[in-house]
Amino acid sequence: MMELGGNITLSGFSERDFTELIVVKKIVGQYARRFSDTIPGFEALKVALTEEGHGTLAIHVHARMHNHDLLGEAQGHNLFVALDSALKRVDEELRKRHDQLTA
């Protein structure tokens, strides 16, 4: 498990290539920055990678906002596409939850 800053945790990425890891950190960091800048109450982001077999990767994203857990998942053969897709799902859920709390 590796921590990026105080509120971002990555797990399952230790076996990935160094250059892939740099891009993963950049993508996750950009989403986390967007969440913390635009969604009051955003607390933490955890991203886990698992290999499902036959070259399929699964990304599991767990975000915390106002003590509520929001989850996003995606699978695919391309690490970056799956990562972006899972983070987009969490982004949508965070924004829905934020809208519900402010309504």
Per-residue model confidence (pLDDT) at position 13: 93
Residue range 36-68, pLDDT digits in tens: 998 888 999 999 999 988 889 999 999 999 888
Q: Is residue 103 scored above 80 in pLDDT? A: no
| 70, two tokens | 């929001």
Angle 79-102/18-38 helices, nearest 10 degrees? 10
Question: Which pLDDT score, from 0 to 100, does residue 67 have?
Answer: 84
Q: What is the CA radius of gyration of the chain?
A: 13
pTM tops 0.85: yes
Query: E-strand spans in 25-94?
Result: 42-53, 56-65, 68-76
- Give residue 49's pLDDT: 97
Quote the pLDDT of residue 99.
85
- Domain 2-102, CATH among 3.30.710.10, 3.40.190.10, 3.30.160.100, 3.30.70.360: 3.30.160.100
| pLDDT range class, residue 89, cuts 50, 70, 90 | very high
Which residues make Cβ contacts (< 8 Å) with residue 11, sequence separation at least 6? 1, 2, 46, 47, 48, 49
Ordered by start, the domain boundaries in the chain are: 2-102
In 3D space, the residue among 87, 83, 103 whose CA is nearest the CA of residue 20 turns out to be 83
